[in-house]
Amino acid sequence: MNTDITALLEIDWAKILPFALPIIFFNLLLIGVALYDWFKRKDRIAAPYAWLAAILLFQSLGPILYLVIGRKVIRHDYSRETS
């Protein structure tokens, strides 16, 4: 992951935007699908906030891994059964 933020300021956006746009759009759509599912299930899955960070920070691989693995790992919540 590139963490040098200042490089973003030097980019000639007008030149790079036309072809970066579809890639950014589809990536945002993928993140949106993953986030929608995360909001529905965040009380049931294990380590929900770690998965939220994974979805938001890792480009395209994070949402996929969440949708394949994360949403199926259900938390064992024994406290709820007794109450």
Partner 1 sequence: MTNFYTLTQTELAEAAKEYKFIWLTLFFVILGVTQPLINNYMDVILENVGGADGITIEPNRPVPSSGEVLLSTISGQFNQIGLIILIISFMGLIASDRNSGMQDFILTRPVAIPSYLLSKLAGHWLISMFAIAIGAAVSYGYTIFLFGSFSFSDFLLFLLMYSLWILYVISLAILISTFIKGPILIAVTTIAVSIFLILIKSFNHLVFQLSPGGVLNVAENQLLPGGEVNHFSILSCGVFIVFNIWLAKINLNKQ
Closest by alpha carbon to 65, among 81, 45, 51, 49?
51
Find the helix packing angle between 13-41 and 61-68, rounded to 10°.
20
Binding mask 61-80 for partner 1 (x = CB under 8 A): --xx--xx--x---------
Q: How many chain residues interact with partner 1 (CB under 8 A)?
A: 22
Phi, psi dihedrals of residue 46, rounded to the nearest 5°: -80, 145
Binding mask 24-63 for partner 1 (x = CB under 8 A): --xx-xx--xx--x----------------------x--x
Quote the tokens at residue 81: 């059964």
Tell me which amino acid residue 23 is: I
Site residues (vs partner 1, CB under 8 A):
7, 10-12, 15-16, 19, 22-23, 26-27, 29-30, 33-34, 37, 60, 63-64, 67-68, 71
